Chain A
Amino acid sequence: MILTGFALGPILPEFVLAVGALALILMGAFRGERWAWVVTDIAIFFLGAALLLVLRQPSGSVAIFNGAFIDDGFGRFMKVLALAGSIATLLMSGDWLRRERIDLFEYPVLIMLSTVGMLLLISANDLIALYLGLELMSLALYVVAAFHRDNVRASEAGLKYFVLGALSSGMLLYGASLLYGFAGTVSFAGIATAIHGQSSIGVIFGLVFVMAGLAFKLAAVPFHMWTPDVYEGAPTPVTAFFAAAPKMAAMAVTVRIITTAFPGIVGEWRQIIVFIAIASMALGSFAAIGQTNFKRLMAYSSIGHMGFALVGLAAGTAAGVQGVIIYMTIYLAMTLGTFAAILEMRRNGKPVEEIADLAGLSATDPPMALFLAAMMFSLAGVPPLAGLFAKFYVFAAAVDAKLYGLAVIGFMLSVVAAYYYLRIVKIMYFDAPRPAFDKGSLAERAVLAIAAAFIVLFSVFPGGIVDAADAAAKSLF
C-alpha cells in the first residue's frame, strides 16, 4: 500500500464519503438520468456508513497530517449532526425533486461532496484546512441553490449566494493572512501560543475578518443579508439542507477556532460574539413578524436561532460550548421537522409556501398539524418541549460567565420571537380551513414524526445527549 505511514483511521469517514461520491459520479455519468433515484439511495447508504464510522471512531483526540486534521470528541459529535442533517434532507428531497423534474444524479453527489467539506471543516485544525473545507462545502451549496436552473428565483438565489459567498471568503482569507503574518503559523494551537494573552492590533484585525467570514456562513447579523432571498428562491429541499447541515459545520468551526486559537484574548472576541448574538436574536425576532412566506420566515428564524446558540459561545466556558452543542442538536431536529412539513405543503401538484395556506390544517390533516404545532412550540421555547432546554443551557452558561445583560436581552427577544411561531399554530387550529394538501411522501412524514418524537422525548430523557455534549465540550478545553 502506498498509504502506509499515513494514519488514515481518523479521516476514514471522510475518505469513504469522498470515494463514494467519485464512484457515484461515474455511475451517474454512464447510466444517465433515469438512475438518479438509485444514485440517491446509494448516496444515503454512504452517508449512513460515514455516520457509523464516525460513531465507531476510538475516543480521545488524534491529530493527523501534521496537525491539519483533528479527530476529537467535539468534532465527532458535530459530524454526527451534520451527517444526520444530510441524510434527512436527501431522504426528503427525492420525491420533491422528481415532481419538479429536476431529479438529476448530480444532486446527491453534490450533497455528498458538500458533506465531505463539512466534515473536513469540523475537523479543521489550521487555517488552510479551515479554508479548504469551507470552500468545498460552500461551492457545492452555491450549485445546489441554483439547481432549479430554469427557475428565475432559484438562479437569482444561486448567483446572490455565490457573489456574497465569494466576498465572505475574501474577508476570511484576508483575516487568515493577517493572523498568519502576526503569529507566524497557521495552526490554531500555534496561534494560541504566539498570542499568549497579548493581543496586537494585527491579531485583532485578523480575528475580526475571520469572524466576519464565519458569521456569513452562519448567517448571523450583520452578514445575514443573503439568507431570506436564498432560502426563498432555492428549491425547498435545498433550503432544508441549508438550514440544517452547513450550520452545524459553521458553528463547529467557529467554536473550535475561538476556543483553541484565541483562548488568551477572551475580552477581544467576546465583544464580537456578544454583538453578533444580540443583533441576530433581535433581527430574527422582529423581522420575521411581517413575513407571509413560510420559507422566508424560517430564514429569519434560523438567523435568530444562530444568535441564541452564540450566546453559549460568548460565555467561552466548557458549559457554554456544551450549551451550543445541545442547542445545535435540538435546532437540527426542529429545522428538519419544520421543513419536512413545508415539503408536504403541496396543492394540485404545485408546492405552496405561504403561511396562509396552512389555515385550518387541524381539520384537514390532524397528525401533520399536531407535529407542526409541536415544532412551532419547541422553536418558540414553550415549556415541556426540547426548545426550552436548548435555551436554558446557553442562558445558564451566559449567567455563569456573568453575562447578565446578554442573558436578559436574549430572554426578552425569545418572547418576541414566540409571537410568530404561535401565530402559525393559531392559523392551523383556528382559521377557516383551506382545501387539503396532496398526500405527502412517506419520507417527509417520517422525518416530521421522528423530529416531533425527538423534541417531545428530549424533555423526558435528556440525559444521554446532555452527557455526550458535556464530554464533547470538555474535549476542547
Chain B
Amino acid sequence: MDVAAVFFYLFSAVTVASGFMVIAARNPVHSVLFLILAFVNSAGLFLLLGAEFLAMILVIVYVGAVAVLFLFVVMMLDVDFAELKQGFLQYLPLGVIIGAIVLVELVAGALTLVPSPLGKPAAPTPGVSNTQALGRVLYTQYLYFFEVAGLVLLVAMIGAIVLTLRHKRGVRRQSVAAQVARTKATSVEVRKVPSRTGV
C-alpha cells in the first residue's frame, strides 16, 4: 500500500466523519468547527489529485472566510438551536426520500457518463504548475473579466459601507494627534499627600 493511498483513506475518512458530525453535533459552534475540519481534509484530497490551487483556495476562501463568517453568525445571533431542532425527526422521512433520489441520480449519472463533447483536456505543460497556468491566462486572455469582476466587488464594498456605516455623535474615537500632544503638564498632577489624612 503506497503512501498516497494511506493519505487518501485518512483524508476521506476524516472528511466523511466530520461531515456527519456537522449535522450531528448538538453545539452549533462544534458544528462549525467540524465543518472547518471537513474543508481542510477536502483540501488534502485536492492536493492528492494534483490540484494544489484548488486546495489552497478551499482553505483560504472556505476556511478563512466562509467558516469564520458562519462562526460569527452562530456566536453573535441569538438563535435558539434547541428550539430549531425540536420536531426534527418529523422531517426524517422526507429527508430520506430526497437523499435516496439524489443517490440514485448520482449513481445513474456516474454509470452513464459520456466523454465530454468539448474534447480532451489539454495535457499539462511540464514545468508549469496549475497556479502559474491560471495566472498566465487570468491576466492576459481573461483580463477583461478579471477587471470587471474587481469593479463588481468594489461596488459590493461601497454598498455595504453606504447602507450600514453610521456616523454617530458622541462616539469617543481615538485621536492620535491629541494623544501624542499630551505632555506631563497636561496629564499628571503632582500632589503632596499629608500622611493619615488622604487626598
The answer for the CA separation of A408 and B154 in the assembled complex, in Å, is 47
Instruction: Determine the chain A residues whose CB is within 8 A of the CB of B190 once the complex forms.
Output: none
With A65-B143, A106-B162, A184-B117 as given contacts, are A132 and B152 in contact (CB-CB < 8 Å)? yes
The answer for the CA separation of A113 and B158 in the assembled complex, in Å, is 11
CB distance B144 to A68 under 8 Å?
A: yes
Report whether over half of chain A's contact residues are helix, strand or loop; otherwise say mixed. Answer: helix
Q: Which of A6, A136, A184 has a CB less than 8 Å from the CB of B151?
A: A136
CB distance A68 to B155 under 8 Å?
A: no
Name B166's closest neighbour in chain A (CB-CB).
A149
Measured between C-beta atoms, what is the minimum distance from B186 to chain A in Å? 29
Measured between C-beta atoms, what is the minimum distance from B167 to chain A in Å? 8
Measured between C-beta atoms, what is the minimum distance from A275 to chain B in Å? 32
Report whether over half of chain B's contact residues are helix, strand or loop; otherwise say mixed. Answer: helix
Number of A-B contacts (CB under 8 A): 60
Q: Which residues 91-122 of B have a CB within 8 angstroms of A?
A: 117-118
Q: Which of A110, A113, A132 has a CB less than 8 Å from the CB of B149?
A: A132
The answer for the CA separation of A210 and B117 in the assembled complex, in Å, is 22
Q: Which residues 129-183 of B have a CB within 8 angstroms of A?
A: 141, 143-145, 148-149, 151-152, 154-156, 158-159, 161-163
Instruction: Determine the chain A residues whose CB is within 8 A of the CB of B117 once the complex forms.
Output: 184
CB distance A149 to B163 under 8 Å?
A: yes
With A113-B154, A184-B118 as given contacts, are A129 and B159 in contact (CB-CB < 8 Å)? no
The answer for the CA separation of A136 and B151 in the assembled complex, in Å, is 7
Instruction: Determine the chain A residues whose CB is within 8 A of the CB of B155 once the complex forms.
Output: 110, 113-114, 136, 139-140, 143
The answer for the CA separation of A139 and B162 in the assembled complex, in Å, is 13
Q: Which of B145, B154, B158, B163 has a CB less than 8 Å from the CB of A68?
A: B145
Q: Which of A65, A109, A146 has a CB less than 8 Å from the CB of B163?
A: A146
Name A143's closest neighbour in chain B (CB-CB).
B159
With A106-B158, A109-B158, A110-B158 as given contacts, are A132 and B148 in contact (CB-CB < 8 Å)? yes
User: Chain B CB within 10 Å — which of A18, A120, A139, A142 has the most?
Assistant: A139
CB distance B145 to A129 under 8 Å?
A: yes
Name B143's closest neighbour in chain A (CB-CB).
A65
Measured between C-beta atoms, what is the minimum distance from B156 to chain A in Å? 6
Measured between C-beta atoms, what is the minimum distance from B115 to chain A in Å? 13
Q: Is A135 an interface residue (CB 8 A)?
A: yes
Measured between C-beta atoms, what is the minimum distance from B154 to chain A in Å? 7
Q: Which of A120, A132, A147 has a CB less than 8 Å from the CB of B162?
A: A147
Name B141's closest neighbour in chain A (CB-CB).
A66
30 A-B residue contacts at CB 8 Å?
A18-B151, A66-B141, A68-B145, A106-B161, A109-B158, A110-B158, A110-B162, A113-B151, A113-B155, A113-B158, A114-B155, A120-B148, A128-B145, A129-B144, A129-B145, A129-B148, A132-B148, A132-B149, A132-B152, A136-B152, A142-B159, A143-B155, A143-B158, A143-B162, A143-B163, A146-B163, A147-B162, A149-B162, A158-B163, A184-B118
Which of B's residues lie within 8 Å of A, judged by CB?
117-118, 141, 143-145, 148-149, 151-152, 154-156, 158-159, 161-163
The 10 A-B residue pairs with the shortest CB-CB distance, nearest first, are: A143-B159, A65-B144, A132-B148, A106-B162, A139-B155, A136-B152, A140-B155, A135-B152, A113-B155, A184-B118
